[in-house]
């Protein structure tokens, strides 16, 4: 299966980044958003990212313009009928995602199309069961920022066909130039199953007064050779995303290490989401 016609649902930080990756890889991309205002913001986000890449010498202006020419935005999910690959990158809300997959099942006409989710921790099988083709649903989890981070988790549910997993893995590696790893449909997959308890533990240290955020970050950078401390990393990931992932993992596993700290919940309630909002544990 040669994938050329793609779509992304959502143009927030992750959706815009994924759409940019697809467009730079020479693919036809439709981005579906809820209204024109959000679509305009998503396009602006992609344009800014591509222009930054040109300024840094990582992309030439012709390639930027060509990538932008491959992008089209719509508010009509019906325009995704001919897509061969659709990647859902909506909010980390299970009901919203299930609804999107149910709609895609009705709209996408190609029986060989792959329907994928960029969820960071939610069970893929629940989205698959919202469709009449669960064998063609899987997770394709990019990391933030998607245009820069090389890793992609390819997550198979218990019903995902081997051929679909193989096609998605080959596509990620050979077309997108990313590094795919295989993950089972378990809470947090691979990366977040390890990362989220770590971030929660660091936030609990701040919450209890055990240590300052600066010293925690300096300790892990200088003492463990991490490129970034856990508090700053949580800000970069997005504190709302960290919270949703922690809640999802804790609900399924009951692992106390993944239980969201109260401080994390309160910061999300206050709109202090990290880099994306300009302020989290640090100011940006």
pLDDT at 236: 93
120 in a labelled binding site: yes
Q: Which fold has domain 5-184?
A: Rossmann fold (3.40.50)
135 catalytic, yes or no? Answer: no
pLDDT digits (tens, 9 = 90+) for 260-283: 999 999 999 999 999 999 999 999
pLDDT(40) > 80: yes
174 catalytic, yes or no? Answer: no
The vertex-100 CA angle with 92 and 126, nearest 5°, equals 65
Is the previous residue joined to 138 through a cis bond, with omega within 30 degrees of 0? no
Residue from 25, 192, 248, 258 carrying the catalytic annotation: 192
pLDDT, average across residues 123-136: 98
Nearest to 17 by CA among 181, 148, 116, 141: 148
Residue from 39, 118, 120, 121 carrying the catalytic annotation: 120
Domain ranges for the chain, please list them. 5-184, 191-277
pLDDT at 121: 87
Residue from 11, 92, 117, 141 carrying the catalytic annotation: 141
pLDDT, average across residues 166-184: 98
pLDDT digits (tens, 9 = 90+) for 88-125: 999 888 999 999 999 999 999 999 999 999 998 899 99
226 catalytic, yes or no? Answer: no
Give backbone dihedrals phi and psi of 129, rounded to 5 degrees, phi first: -75, -10
Output 144 or 219, whichever has higher pLDDT. Answer: 219
pLDDT, average across residues 16-27: 98
pLDDT(1) > 80: no
49 in a labelled binding site: yes
What are the helix and strand counts (H, E) for the chain?
11, 8
Look up the CATH architecture of domain 191-277.
Orthogonal Bundle (1.10)
Are the beta carbons of 6 and 231 closer than 8 angstroms?
no
């Amino acid at each position: 299966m040669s994938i050329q016609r793609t779509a992304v649902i959502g143009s927030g930080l992750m959706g815009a980044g994924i759409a940019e990756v697809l467009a730079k890889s020479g693919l036809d991309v439709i981005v579906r958003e809820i209204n024109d205002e959000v679509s305009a913001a998503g396009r602006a986000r992609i344009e800014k990212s591509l222009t930054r890449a040109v300024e840094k010498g990582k992309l030439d202006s012709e390639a930027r313009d060509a990538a932008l020419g491959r992008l089209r935005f719509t508010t009509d999910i019906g325009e995704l009928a001919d897509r061969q690959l659709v990647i859902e990158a909506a909010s980390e809300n299970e009901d919203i995602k299930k609804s999107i997959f149910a709609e895609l099942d009705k709209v996408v006409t190609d029986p060989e199309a792959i329907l994928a989710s960029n969820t960071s921790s939610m069970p893929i099988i629940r989205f698959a069961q919202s469709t009449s083709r669960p064998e063609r649903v899987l997770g394709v989890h990019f990391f933030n920022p998607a245009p820069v981070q090389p890793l992609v988790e390819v997550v198979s549910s218990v019903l995902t066909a081997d051929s679909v997993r193989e096609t998605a893995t080959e596509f990620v590696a050979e077309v997108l130039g990313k590094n795919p790893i295989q993950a089972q449909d378990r809470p947090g997959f691979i990366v977040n199953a390890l990362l989220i308890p770590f971030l929660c533990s660091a936030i609990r240290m701040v919450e209890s007064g055990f240590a300052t955020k600066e010293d925690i970050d300096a300790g892990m950078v200088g003492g463990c050779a991490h490129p970034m401390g856990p508090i700053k990393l949580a800000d970069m990931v997005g504190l709302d995303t960290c919270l949703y992932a922690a809640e999802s993992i804790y609900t399924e596993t009951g692992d106390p290490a993944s239980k969201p700290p109260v401080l994390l919940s309160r910061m999300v309630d206050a709109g202090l989401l990290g880099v994306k909002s300009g302020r989290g544990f640090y100011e940006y």
